[in-house]
């Protein structure tokens, strides 16, 4: 895909409010877009600036598999399924160390995990 096609595609996705696809396109092509950011529309340029600032500050978005695990944790916490919650956490403790991943936890999961001592109170 050429840079012009990429910019047109990103602008189109932002106009359609398909921000997930636009974010992925920007993240995958960050270097070429740095040189041509002036060709992005205003909203797309703001999204680009937000993503570059987040990446510069060390933000790393969770992968699909990590989001699936977090979703399972949230579901089990909502159902108060402690056995299932412990099973899900087994082998996935590294997710709880990631502050970004903890932001995706619902309030039930945060309360249960704090009670279990798996995460600290914020």
Residue-level pLDDT, tens digit, the chain, 122 residues: 788 999 999 999 999 998 889 988 998 898 999 998 889 999 999 999 998 988 887 777 778 888 899 999 999 999 999 999 999 999 888 888 887 788 889 999 999 999 888 888 76
Whole-number pLDDT of residue 10: 93
Question: b or e along 22-52 (b: 16 or more beta carbons within 10 Å of the residue's beta carbon)?
Answer: bbebbeebeeebeeeeebbeeebbebbeebb
Q: Taking a C-beta distance cutoff of 8 angstroms, is the pair 94, 119 a contact?
A: no
Q: What is the pLDDT of residue 122?
A: 66
pTM for the complete prediction?
Answer: 0.61
């Amino acid at each position: 895909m050429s840079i012009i096609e990429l910019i047109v595609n990103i602008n189109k996705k932002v106009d359609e409010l398909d921000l997930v696809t636009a974010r992925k396109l920007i993240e995958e092509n960050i270097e070429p877009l740095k040189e041509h950011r002036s060709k992005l529309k205003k909203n797309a340029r703001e999204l680009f600036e937000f993503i570059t600032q987040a990446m510069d500050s060390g933000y790393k978005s969770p992968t699909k598999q990590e989001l699936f695990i977090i979703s399972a944790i949230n579901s089990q916490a909502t159902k108060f399924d402690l056995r299932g919650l412990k099973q899900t956490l087994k082998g996935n403790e590294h997710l709880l160390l990631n502050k970004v991943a903890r932001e995706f936890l619902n309030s039930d999961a945060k309360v249960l995990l704090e009670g279990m001592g798996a995460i600290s109170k914020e």
